[in-house]
């Protein structure tokens, strides 16, 4: 009957695609793209591009024919977002695969337990560089974290007026400082007191500290702002002073995010090469005292092994890849530690 007829919205179809339509389209597109690339001799990256294009066109046509324009547009945007995400992962996966495949050739017990004392060709390891990286980064972290967290507390809890705006401005400026500038600053600072040509491990720590402080400030500031004001007000209502409220309520609540921000700052600076080239110099033996002479570190070790290969050059290149693999593993361990600390000490925020 005409009175009971239900009109369909403009551009809407009457059907619905199968639940696994996206996977089906992707599978067919992947096979078709593989056959095309095999015939034409294209690279795997071209196969990935063709697969994405074929999937997008196929799902668009199919959805338009069955579901209508509105649902087709939704599926198109979903496919586009997924493909952009996959393309963003390609460089990361390629990097990790290359470093792992190339670095395993020399990633052995000798590489992890020996230094380069007296090594001319094959053999040797990166023990001295790994220990130098740990020591330099540890000193930088110990110096940067208290300064960064205290500055963030001031900006969120106490800061007002011109001083707050000035600190925020300088933090933003420091976020964009090139790493070599931080190295030159540390070198000039120590050369002013100890004379030109000075090279110390602590100089590298100062350079990394300059790079870490703005990252710690910004991450800690954001996490402190996430803490609900109702928690602060409840503490004030019980007569707790402000400094104790910050210490016993605000900081524990934001601890998980602050720790994660600190780990991000450490991961940001632990692979820096330019400032350490200027400040710590290079040495083939193990030096565990950052206040006494040059100190090796993994970024400079990898750079020198690749930049100045000897005879045979393959041994130097293998050590460079193994050093890069060790550096990636250290960063991964830091992130895992940050996650464990966040789960152990983090406080859930409820609004």
More confident residue, 12 or 344: 344
- In DSSP terms, which residues pair with 12 in a beta bridge? 68
Element (H, E) at 211: helix 201-226
Distance CA 155, CA 51 (A): 49
Q: Residue 167 domain-assigned?
A: yes
Distance CA 86, CA 80 (A): 10
Domain enclosing residue 67, as ranges: 21-103
Same domain, 152 and 208: yes
Q: What is the pLDDT, as a whole number, of residue 138?
A: 93
- Taking only the tens place, the pLDDT of each residue in 31-85 is 888 888 888 888 787 888 888 888 888 888 888 888 788 888 888 888 888 888 8
Distance CA 118, CA 345 (A): 47
Task: Give me the mean pLDDT over the 18-42 stretch.
Answer: 84
Distance CA 176, CA 112 (A): 35
Contact predicate 180/278, CB 8 Å: yes
User: pLDDT confidence of 206, banded at 50, 70, 90?
Assistant: very high
End position of a domain, from candidates 74, 103, 132 = 103
Contact predicate 193/180, CB 8 Å: no
User: pLDDT confidence of 345, banded at 50, 70, 90?
Assistant: low
User: Looking at the predicted structure, is the pLDDT value of residue 4 above 50?
Assistant: no
Distance CA 122, CA 311 (A): 8
- Cα torsion angle, 212, 215, 218, 220, sign: negative
Task: Give me the mean pLDDT over the 134-146 stretch.
Answer: 94
- Taking only the tens place, the pLDDT of each residue in 311-322 is 778 888 999 999
Q: Cβ atoms within 10 A of the Cβ of 32, count? A: 15
Distance CA 82, CA 48 (A): 13
Same domain, 50 and 68: yes
Cα 26 versus chain centre, distance? 30
Q: What is the pLDDT, as a whole number, of residue 5?
A: 42
Domain count across the chain: 2
End position of a domain, from candidates 71, 103, 135 = 103
End position of a domain, from candidates 80, 103, 126 = 103
Comparing 3-12, 125-134, 187-196, 217-226, the range with the smallest average pLDDT is: 3-12
Distance CA 256, CA 262 (A): 10
Sequential DSSP letters for 101-159: HHHTTT-SHHHHH---TT--SS---SHHHHHHHHHHHHHHHHHHHHHHHHHHHIIIII-
Domain of 304, CATH number, reads 1.10.3720.10
User: Looking at the predicted structure, is the pLDDT value of residue 30 above 60?
Assistant: yes
Q: Residue 275 domain-assigned?
A: yes
Same domain, 95 and 46: yes
Q: What percent of the chain has pLDDT over 70?
A: 94
Same domain, 165 and 299: yes
Q: What is the pLDDT, as a whole number, of residue 16?
A: 80
Q: What is the pLDDT, as a whole number, of residue 2?
A: 43
pTM of the predicted model, to two decimals? 0.80
């Amino acid at each position: 009957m005409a009175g009971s007829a239900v009109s369909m919205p403009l551009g809407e179809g009457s059907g619905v695609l199968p639940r696994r339509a996206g996977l089906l389209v992707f599978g067919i597109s992947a096979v078709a793209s593989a056959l095309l690339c095999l015939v034409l001799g294209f690279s795997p990256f071209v196969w990935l591009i063709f697969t994405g294009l074929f999937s997008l066109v196929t799902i668009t046509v199919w959805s338009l024919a069955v579901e209508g324009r509105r649902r087709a547009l939704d599926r198109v945007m979903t496919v586009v977002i997924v493909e952009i995400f996959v393309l963003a992962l390609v460089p990361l996966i390629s990097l990790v695969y290359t470093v792992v495949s190339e670095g395993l050739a020399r990633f052995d017990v000798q590489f992890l337990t020996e230094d380069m004392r007296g090594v001319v060709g094959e053999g040797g390891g990166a023990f001295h560089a790994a220990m130098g990286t740990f020591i330099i980064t540890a000193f930088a972290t110990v110096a940067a974290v208290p300064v960064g967290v205290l500055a963030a507390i001031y900006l969120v809890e106490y800061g007002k007026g011109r001083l707050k705006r000035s600190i925020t401005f300088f933090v933003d400026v420091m976020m964009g400082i090139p790493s070599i500038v931080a190295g030159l600053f540390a070198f000039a600072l120590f050369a002013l007191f100890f004379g030109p040509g000075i090279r110390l491990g602590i100089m590298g720590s100062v350079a990394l500290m300059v790079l870490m402080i703005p990252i710690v400030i910004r991450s800690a500031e954001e996490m402190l702002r996430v803490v609900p004001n109702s928690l602060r007000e409840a503490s004030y209502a019980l007569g707790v002073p402000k400094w104790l409220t910050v210490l016993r309520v605000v900081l524990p609540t934001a601890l998980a995010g602050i720790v994660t921000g600190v780990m991000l700052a450490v991961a940001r600076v632990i692979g820096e090469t330019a400032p350490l080239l200027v400040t710590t110099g290079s040495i083939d033996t193990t030096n565990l005292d950052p206040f006494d002479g040059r100190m090796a570190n993994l970024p400079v070790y990898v750079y020198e092994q690749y930049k100045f290969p000897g005879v045979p050059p393959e041994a130097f290149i293998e050590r460079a890849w193994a050093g890069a693999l060790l550096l990636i593993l250290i960063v991964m361990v830091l992130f895992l530690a940050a996650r464990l600390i966040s789960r152990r000490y983090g406080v859930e925020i409820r609004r």
